[in-house]
Structure 1
């Protein structure tokens, strides 16, 4: 895929984001051939938009979700300003592009994690975390989920489904809490829909964060203080309907809610 086609795809994806539009399928000549090209296009989308990157999302940390997403490694995407909201949050369902609410821990950085030759350890990225929050990622996709849905590299170029992040209150003394094994319950309009835990889905929020720091470091990208990282779904993926309110109950660690008006 030559540079001119990469630029064409980046400009097209940037326009879809600006206009809040989706499309069915993607011309084969514009589908990135691999992850490296897809991420290069995603960076071009950032440049085309000129929007601030206020966070990142991670998906597919373990084989089960990787199989669902048709990937063999985790993936990531940028979260753009102003798409970080405090709980309780509301969004218009009609303006969301193939919305998916995902219950996730959100890590807000208090220090930069710049590119370097030596891989970051889980302990090092933990030291860079200013606060950890219960959260819900309101994922979106610029491509309609129909029979023409394009291969995964096209989705990665679009930010791997990045959308809005909803933050709960910071978890008090999170380093000394059993974050990994805390059961999380997702309710929709008062009815339980899913249960999960970090131990089952991502091991611990710091594990995907370390993966992201190293993946970005490899390509010369810095994680910055103040950015918020959505570390991966604990309860899988759901298709919301208008009028639904999702409340994620993290037990003693707090709750977070999002409503699709």
Structure 2
């Protein structure tokens, strides 16, 4: 895929984001051939939009979710929409194939710049200023239909990044059993999904270390002030208009998002 087609795809995806639109399928000539090309296009989308990268999202840390996502490795994308404090509210009709995902949000207090030596989990943990409960309101510029394009097209679109609804910081989170805490996702008061970081991620700092090393390898790096959505604890489901989703993190707090 030559640079002119990469630029063409980036401009197209940027326009879809600006306009809040999505489409069915993608011309085969514009589908990136691999993840490396797709991530390069995603960076071009950032340049085309000129929007601030307020954070990053991670998905598919373990094999079960990777299978659902049609990938053989974890994936990432830029968060380009300002974070929303809980309770959050979005218009269902303006969301592109929305999916609410329960995720811990790690806010960085220090840069993790590109370097030769890999980052350890301990190093990235030290760089985190605060950890929060949250819900990612994921979106996709491609309709989930029979023409849904291959994964590289989704990576070019930011791996389904959308709006992050974030709760209050978890006090003394480094000294608490974050991984084992069960989280319950309810819709209009009815429990729909349950999960934990131990089952889905091992611990939120594990995907964060993975992302720090992926971005370091590509010369990008993470910046202080950015918030990283570390991966779904409860899988994926499709919301309906009028539904309110509440993620109950037990003693760590609750986060609420409404699809109006």
Give the alignment's TM-score, normalised by structure 2: 1.00
Separation (CA, whole Å) in 2 of partners of 1:25 and 1:186: 31
Equivalent residue for 2:68? 68
CA distance in 1, matches of 2:96, 2:186: 22
How far apart, in 1, do the equivalents of 2:49 and 2:119 lie? 30
Where do residues 136-215 of structure 1 align in structure 2 (5 Å cutoff)? 136-215=135-214
Residue in structure 1 matched with residue 27 of structure 2 by the alignment:
27
Which 4+ stretches in 1 moved above 4 angstroms? none
Partner residue of 1:135? 134
Q: Deviation at 1:204?
A: 0.2
In 2, Cα distance between the equivalents of 1:206 and 1:20? 32
TM-score by length of 1: 0.99
CA distance in 2 between counterparts of 1:121 and 1:253 reads 25
Tell me the C-alpha RMSD between the 2 structures.
0.4
**Distance between the aligned counterparts of 1:188 and 1:174, measured in 2?**
27
Q: CA deviation at 1:222?
A: 1.7
CA distance in 1, matches of 2:254, 2:165: 11
Q: Which secondary structure state, in structure 2, belongs to the residue aligned with residue 14 of structure 1?
A: helix
Aligned to 2:105: 106
1:96 maps to 2:84: no
In the alignment, structure 1 residue 258 sits paired with structure 2 residue 257: yes
Residue by residue over 1:157-214, the C-alpha shift from the partner in whole angstroms, topping out at 9 and shown as x without a partner, is 0000000001010000000110000000111100000000000000000000000000
* 1:55-106, Cα deviation, whole Å (9 max, x unpaired): 0000000000000000000000000142x10000000000000000000000
Asked if residue 217 in structure 1 is aligned to residue 208 in structure 2, the reply is no
C-alpha distance in structure 1 between counterparts of 2:67 and 2:80, whole Å: 27
Correspondence for 1:227: 226
For structure 1, which runs of at least 5 residues remain unmatched after alignment?
none
Count of aligned residue pairs for this structure pair: 260
